[in-house]
Structure 1
Amino acid sequence: MAAQAQQAVYRCGKEYTNAPREPALCEPLAPQSITVISGTRPTSAAAPAAVPRRSTPAEPGAAVASALQPRTPEVPARTPDVQQSERDAQARTILTQELDKARAQLAQLVQSYNQGEPEKWAAETRNHQKYLDRVAEMKAAIERTERDIDSLQRELTRRSVQASRRTP
């Protein structure tokens, strides 16, 4: 949509107006076409929120009064059960994959830990403390991975319970 301006438009410093206070200090702009871009409209059935009005010098208390007006919150539309069940299935798949990765990582860590006596590296033959530090880090990594596996299993169990509640 394009439309021509009805009146001349002036630039007065940083202000653009069609009624300048001092026309001698303003420069007229060449007529230009105006493009109007329509905004999007809310799709929910809820009423739009109240828009606060700006106060003018004639209405000094208008801003305070508009701030006290109640606003109607928009309620997001619920996704259909089919979409939700698809999302739940995807989440369970991702959790299962993460659980498999964590179990594989745990198996590798346990194998390299070798019941608390992993192979010594060349740099650790002269400095036994480096070896002890690495063994402690490996043990902490094993414990952390075990906790991750436990939490993933709990999350899978929780998702299975939620899915069974939805299906009658």
Structure 2
Amino acid sequence: MLIRPFFLLSCVTALLAGAVQAQSIVYRCPGPPVLYTDALSPKEAQAKDCRSIEGTPITVLPATRPRANPAPASAGGGEARGSADGRIDPNQQRSRDGERRRVLETELREAQERLDALQRDYAGGNAERRGDEKNYQKYLDRMAELKASIGRQEVDVQALKREISKLP
């Protein structure tokens, strides 16, 4: 009599273990982004071309949390990041602003030079035809491209001027 309840208990345990195992199959589904899921049935997984990753260990890494307080500025050498309350030394900020202004002015000068060169080539839409433009349509295509390039360059110049005007 003692053998039967033990046998019955082991059968029930085996059935439950099989059910848990069937639910815990994890599938890797292709495509951007790659999807790992255990919510698919075997038929759905096959239809989506998903592969079972049975027996492969799965590692879940917790997300990193940002530090509450930044590290204090170093006293020796290098560029100081600022004080503990997040402020930057006014002299250092002036230096950064000056460098930014120099970079933007250089970019503005180069953009203005490119714009002038494009406008010279365009010649108000009356540029001379080149030797490789025996077909009039090639000439018209080049003029349209030059006109579009001039428009883009003008927008770039205006954007750089706006950025410079925002500086202190």
Q: Normalising by structure 1, report the TM-score.
A: 0.50
Q: Which structure has the highest helix share of the two?
A: 2
Q: Normalising by structure 2, report the TM-score.
A: 0.50
